[in-house]
Amino acid sequence: MPETAKHTGLAYRWADRPYHRKWLLDRADELFDVFQFASVNPKGGFFDLKRDGTPLVAGNPVRGIHAAARMVHCFAIGDLLGRPGSADVVDHGMQFLWNRHRDRKHGGYFWQVDDNGPVDATKQGYGHAFVLLAASSAKIVGHPLAEAMLDDVTEILQTRFWENTHGAIAEEFSADWSPVPGYRGQNSNMHLTEALMAAFEATGERHYLEKAEHIADLVIRRRAGECGWRVPEHFDENWQLDRDYRGNEMFRPSGTTPGHWLEWARLVLQLWVLGGKRHDWMPEAARGLFFQSMSLGWDRTHGGFFYTLDWENAPARRSKLWWPLCEGAGAAHWLAEHLPSDFHEESYRRIWSFITRHSLDRTHGGWFEELTEDLSPATTIFPGKGDIYHALQACLIPLFPATASLTRVISETGGPTLEV
């Protein structure tokens, strides 16, 4: 590992400073303020928001399943923190997932719906991963639908999506569960890893943890390890890398995505801790993923993470999105706690300093979802305001010990303290 990654002894961590902790908590509270009421669609589900906090599409917008599930997860966190009204948002989202996204004929959950029913009735691994996360978080706060949803989506993931041969899930099926052949993706499996850990924490059932470990072994130890701790995104049905894949720029961008290397750096450390620190390869993988993200993905001229790189490590899509910054902050905190080094702490400070200067929308609240290469706000990939999920976790993760998910550590500690 290069010299910059070794521990040389900074005097303190920002995450231990009361001022920084209050600053983070204030940013989290601002996010709750933006999304708690403006996002709620009285006809069910949630609005995507314009930058000014009004609905991106009024009337009868199409609602993606991941948006509702993320709101359930985030406001379950709000409820655990004691934020008034959070339980109402959790219930609003759970009712919509159970009554409108759930396919009562064929089973599973529709990818997109509107007021009239399914708009895209496909069954996506990405969407089902977030349903598992929502159900697990809702169980922690005692929502009455949580047990049924958790049992239902667990059975669907096991019988429809899970492929024992590879130790990961298939990507997509049609509404009647006819296979959609030819593609396997790491993104859905990465988010399923997060959800499986949450389900293990909520239930104590070890099969969730074992599946998460299988996915991480395939995607990170083997495939990312083969690529020098760069996470490949796209594969064929046999999990062989497809370097030429061209997909949806929002969910399946071509090339590599440094933001996902950062996300995996945190998740694989969390998995290492949750599994009793049995797998020695995991902390080294986390260290390598983070180092590569900062070395190859960070724009040394303007700052921020390039959205995508090509296979020669050159910037491909030069936009700077909000969520890689969020994942970088969370990963740096976990690494600074478990693998202390000046590099990890300095990276944490660099990321938050960039965020406060360029990414916070001080006029309307929330974060700018996209910046150009030279850091002007833009909307070429993500229309409207970036959702609460990544940003809220970035603000709250550093306030707690790096031992488990936010729902678990908040349940155990009762909430953040300003003094450490």
Q: Which residues are catalytic?
A: 260, 390
Closest C-alpha to 223, from 275, 305, 168, 274: 168
Beta strands in 354-402, from DSSP E residues, in sequence order:
370-371
Strand partners, 64: 112
**Can you give the C-alpha Rg of the chain in angstroms?**
20
Q: What is the DSSP string of 237-275?
A: TT--B-TT----TTTS-SSB-HHHHHHHHHHHHHHHHHT
Q: State the amino acid at position 271 in one-letter form.
A: L
Q: State the amino acid at position 267 in one-letter form.
A: L
Closest C-alpha to 273, from 189, 203, 212: 212
- Read off the tokens for 252: 């399946």
Torsion over CA of 12, 354, 68 and 80, rounded to 10 degrees? 20
Number of neighbouring beta carbons within 10 Å of residue 145:
19
Q: What's the rounded Cα separation, in Å, for the pair 268 and 284? A: 10
Closest C-alpha to 143, from 209, 206, 80: 80
Furthest C-alpha separation in the chain: 60
Closest C-alpha to 51, from 305, 379, 324: 379
How far does the chain reach from its first CA to its final CA, in angstroms? 31
H-run or E-run covering 189? helix 186-203
At residue 299, the 3 state secondary structure works out as coil
Pairing of strands 172-173, 184-185: unpaired
Q: What's the rounded Cα separation, in Å, for the pair 374 and 303? A: 9
Closest C-alpha to 33, from 367, 366, 414, 326: 366
Contact residues for 115 (Cβ-Cβ < 8 A; gap 6+)? 43, 44, 60
- What size, in residues, is the chain? 420
